[in-house]
């Protein structure tokens, strides 16, 4: 397990086999656009060197986010898709974020799970 921090704001990145779990803290809700971009660069850099088959974003600590965070999710999604048949999925999604994803039609792009354990089970069932 590794922790990526930017100016006191952090993401945890855990690897379980070929699956990476990215856990943003509640701090992501109040990060400036430049800070999210900086954090995205720090999270993505090691993943580019050793790409995972799939990524789970554990959003259980996050109640909402903006368009730049959605762009970060899309970048991660594209990285996984370039590697093959992997998936990016979201776990622990709040009602507010579910509504945002529904409005942007991104709930059709990413599977949503109540827990990380459910997401891991689903991904391991597809591998």
* pLDDT given at position 126: 55
- Can you tell me the distance from the alpha carbon of 69 to that of 108, in angstroms, rounded to the nearest whole number? 18
User: What number is the average pLDDT over the span 86-108?
Assistant: 94
Question: Was domain 2-126 assigned CATH 3.30.750.24?
Answer: yes
122 conformational bin, left if phi > 0, alpha if psi -120 to 50, beta if neither = alpha
What residues does each domain of the chain span? 2-126
Tens digit of pLDDT for each residue in 1-54? 444 444 345 688 899 888 999 999 888 777 777 877 787 777 888 888 888 889
* pLDDT given at position 120: 95
* pLDDT given at position 97: 94
Tens digit of pLDDT for each residue in 47-73? 888 888 899 999 999 988 888 889 889
């Amino acid at each position: 397990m590794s922790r990526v921090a930017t100016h006191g704001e952090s993401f945890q990145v855990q690897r379980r086999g070929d699956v990476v779990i990215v856990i943003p803290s509640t701090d992501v809700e109040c990060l400036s656009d430049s800070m999210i971009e900086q954090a995205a660069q720090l999270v993505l850099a090691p993943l580019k060197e050793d790409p995972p088959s799939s990524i789970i974003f554990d959003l259980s600590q996050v109640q909402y986010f903006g368009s730049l965070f959605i762009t970060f999710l899309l970048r991660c999604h594209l990285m996984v898709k370039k590697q093959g048949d992997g998936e990016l999925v979201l776990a622990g999604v709040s009602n507010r974020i579910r509504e945002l994803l529904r409005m942007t039609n991104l709930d059709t792009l990413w599977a949503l799970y109540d827990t990380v354990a459910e997401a891991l089970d689903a991904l391991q069932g597809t591998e």
